[in-house]
Structure 1
Amino acid sequence: MPNKFKNLSHDFPILKRKINDEPLVYLDNAATSQTPNQVLNRIGDFYQHSNANVHRGVYTLANEATAAYEQVRNQVAAFINAPSAKSIVYTRSTTDSLNLIATSFGNLVVTQGDEILITIMEHHSNLIPWQQLAKRKHATLRYVELNADQTLDMADLKHKLTNKTKIVAITQTSNVLGVTNPIKEIAKLAHQHQAYIVVDAAQSVAHQKVDVQDLDADFLTFSGHKMLATTGIGVCYGKPELLAEMPPVQFGGEMIESVSRTNATWQAAPWKFEAGTPNIGGVIGLGAAIDYLSEIGMAEINAREQQLTAYLFPKLTAVNKLTIYGSKEASQHAGIISFNLGQLHPHDVATGLDMLGVEVRAGHHCAQPLMATLGVQATVRASLSFYNSVEDLDRFVQAIQMVKEFFAGESK
């Protein structure tokens, strides 16, 4: 593995913890990533030296806070190659961003008889808002199915994408299967039918270079807590001309231009979508996380995680009675491997691994329609980050064998 990653774990204090007297192996990065000292220190410095509300005051602290807050908007725009900082809306999460799009933009463009196209691999956050929009508007929600190797069936997508389709909402990388979908190709197809594409980039933006202009995404969403920042901060990118058309969905302070007894007018985008005091510390942390990722380099991070996945994948496939979901090619898993271990319940497997210091996720992963398609109730999921090590992965595989022995009396 590249030497530049050798000591990065020292930046993450939590990785020095012990769990049940065992060294921590953290493999739940798809749920939330860990936060390095550089991000924690930047947030602490803000609260210790520049803490004030943004946009309102004319005094020094308020000006400093506002400048820092808006500078991060520029950083985010550069990080995803957005055409303007004004195309970046701060939200609470990916979920919040998708709900904003479905409620504001969706209400504008979807009418009775229209169709909304999503995939069967969507996280509930990119399913339920469209399901509810379809119900409100008496539209039809259609699902793109999977190929035999559990990758996206592009033939099915092309068949179901018609002139009735108004919105295509799709994950860039599946949080269960790890597969990365061909967003640029899908965007081109959607636009040929005058449909808009909404991209859930929660599982991709911290692991590969995301370029919204190259993808030609109409909207793209992600969360800070999956990219080394803290919880409670998300991003909604929208093409400027689309954000300009959209009405706000929350009202109050910050987002207004003027208010009378009987009427109110709104600021321009993005501020019209940011009612109330925002998560200023979360925004500051997001900027620090972008600095950290950019210093390493997204291409280097992607290559590192591909190497780790390629190392782990054959070791898991060699475990007797272990079933991996998704492609049989390690390169198709983007650091995410979901599996089951014989007839053992995923929660039992995860609990057993936790007793050995290995932290993985077990459950339906907020993707119940996908679980039904796979024919299971739940899976165990290991999700990697660049700060994981080969030693982490060896301990993980060893722990799986120990769990098998404990629960099933098996050694291989």
Structure 2
Amino acid sequence: MATGDEFPLPGSSYRGPAPHFARFRAGQPVVRLPAAGGGHAWLVTRYDDVRAVLDDHRFSRAASYAPEAPRFPGLFQAPPGMIISLDAPEHTRLRTLAAQAFSVQRIEAMRPRIRQLVDELADRADAEAVSAPVDLLGRFTFPLSLTVIAELLGVPHEDQERFSVWIRRFAAVDGPQDEAIAAREQLGEYMAGLVMSKTAEPGDDVLSALVRARIGDDRLDTGELIGLGYTLLGAGADSTACHLASSVLTLLAHHRDVWVRLGSHPEEVPAAVEELLRWVSLSTNDTTGLPRIALQDVEIAGVTIPAGDAVFVSITSANRDEAVFTSPDELDFARGGEHLAFGHGIHACLGALLARIELVTALEELTRRFPAARLAVPEQELRWQQADMNHRLAALPVDLHGKDF
């Protein structure tokens, strides 16, 4: 089964997974690869097989923290005890408690505030666009997602800039380890203080609701509250900002006709957002980045994965599966079908609805207000952060009114 390839695979970009994945889907949908740094990993690349692994309790997230579990230097691994690091029944308990606070009703109630933030950030960008191109990543996408999740958690406005720095350092998988550790400790200390303040004086925010959440006499302890705060803040701020920036880049660089059309047909934006969620590649290694350990020998697509081996599922590859999506490498803004951008199974993204609201609201406003927008530099001159778990632009300079400066 040797392929000559090594995991993580080179060649991934925001425009799609490494080219190896199409070859794997065609001939080796469940493939064993040597891993950089030693050992090996299994990659699962087809849509149906990815869903099967994500649904199968025999593939354990919690077991990846055992002393004997394989290690993958350079890949982000969430701290143990977080909701994304647990299996049932521990995960079920945390998810049930978290759902009481992160409810559909609470997220839907955020729509007016998200609209207000989008309008305010667009106003600011519009004012700056008079004299120079605007960095939409630094001035729009990241401030939007960070402010939304920080307000949901009840983080004071004056602390949000510090959070921004800590999150970036914590998520930098290839950056200085001392900075990542320090950022994690600073986030933990801050979240602990925030939990204490919400416990003493609850407010109308998600963290306060998490403090109040109950299943009978059961409640979240301080460590669990801190871990959920980590999860919501990190995933809610960084992933949404990166995806929105890459979506804007995709439209401006390759589909300006769609950008213009969406500006006058906002009813088409939700479908466009779903196709961009399918097509835009978020993860820098084309997988969820979080290993699962086979608790026993398990057969997937006719291949037996031995007990104790690590498995990575490629949602990016699954979303390009030819058996599910016609012409999957093409953007089809009228496409239907169920993508896996938010995962599947017990670990499906808790914040999917929030992300969708932010993405739709932002694209509605940006395309409506700035129909003449264009990249301020050639796409090949854009810089990407190399040491990051997500495909993240260093900046996205845009001439919002199509001017020549």
**TM-score, normalised by the number of residues in structure 2:** 0.28
**TM-score, normalised by the number of residues in structure 1:** 0.28
Task: Work out which structure has the larger RCO, using CA pairs closer than 8 Å and 6 or more positions apart in sequence.
Answer: 2
